[in-house]
Homo-oligomer: A and B are copies of this chain.
């Protein structure tokens, strides 16, 4: 029958695809985003053209790889964000989830944030995917949705929620990136500091000297 045959083939293809993705994962984890198609193929025990048959081009492979990790991370973030707790607690928990993830697997994190720009080689012509990390965009959009659903922002709430979504995600990301490099404090302290920022402590603080402020 056509269908069974087709499903068989598709199954086998999917299995191969998963195997290749796992091999690619290993190599990217080891070599960073500079991992070459040759190296990935070698790790998978096959040769380049097969990779290209499965993923089209390097961008395709990287996109597939990124989607896996992105989906996984977004799942845990959603869980933290949707927990039955008050807002501050949810915010802190979400921040901590994100930071714990990038702390646990910095290589993955680095790969997700700078996937394109594949160094040298013939990637001239068209940039696959956007230049910016899709993970940030997706997190921003999801957070925007949650904010709009759960926080009462008055008129213009939708637009405001989107700005805030992307802004808060960017804050988390930049602070996390810096923290991961310098480790100037514990994760819990970082989470608290960021939540304090979001909770308006900047606006509430007084000026230091009798400067130009009021």
Complex Cα spacing A179 to B175, Å: 20
Complex Cα spacing A206 to B150, Å: 9
Q: Is A93 an interface residue (CB 8 A)?
A: no
Q: Is A9 an interface residue (CB 8 A)?
A: no
Q: Are A202 and B205 in contact (CB under 8 A)?
A: no
Q: Return A27 CB to nearest CB of chain B, in Å.
A: 12
Q: Are A114 and B131 in contact (CB under 8 A)?
A: yes
Complex Cα spacing A172 to B174, Å: 10
Q: Are B208 and A203 in contact (CB under 8 A)?
A: no
Q: Return A211 CB to nearest CB of chain B, in Å.
A: 6
Q: Return A88 CB to nearest CB of chain B, in Å.
A: 8
Q: Is A48 an interface residue (CB 8 A)?
A: no
Q: Are A167 and B159 in contact (CB under 8 A)?
A: no
Q: Return A21 CB to nearest CB of chain B, in Å.
A: 21
Complex Cα spacing A191 to B85, Å: 31
Complex Cα spacing A86 to B114, Å: 38
Count residues of chain A with CB under 8 A from any CB of chain B: 85
Q: Is A168 an interface residue (CB 8 A)?
A: yes
Closest residue of B by beta carbon distance from A32? B126
Q: Are B86 and A212 in contact (CB under 8 A)?
A: yes
Q: Are B203 and A198 in contact (CB under 8 A)?
A: yes
Closest residue of B by beta carbon distance from A114? B117
Q: Are B198 and A202 in contact (CB under 8 A)?
A: yes
Q: Are B163 and A208 in contact (CB under 8 A)?
A: no
Q: Are A163 and B194 in contact (CB under 8 A)?
A: yes
Q: Return A148 CB to nearest CB of chain B, in Å.
A: 8
Could you mark each residue 162-177 of chain A with 1 if its beta carbon is under 8 Å from any beta carbon of chain B, else 0?
Answer: 1110111111111101
Which 4 pairs from chain A and chain B are nearest by CB? A200-B200, A170-B174, A129-B181, A120-B120
Additional 15 contacts, C-beta under 8 A, given A32-B124, A170-B175 = A84-B212, A86-B212, A86-B214, A117-B117, A120-B120, A127-B181, A151-B202, A153-B201, A160-B193, A163-B185, A164-B193, A166-B174, A166-B177, A168-B197, A170-B174
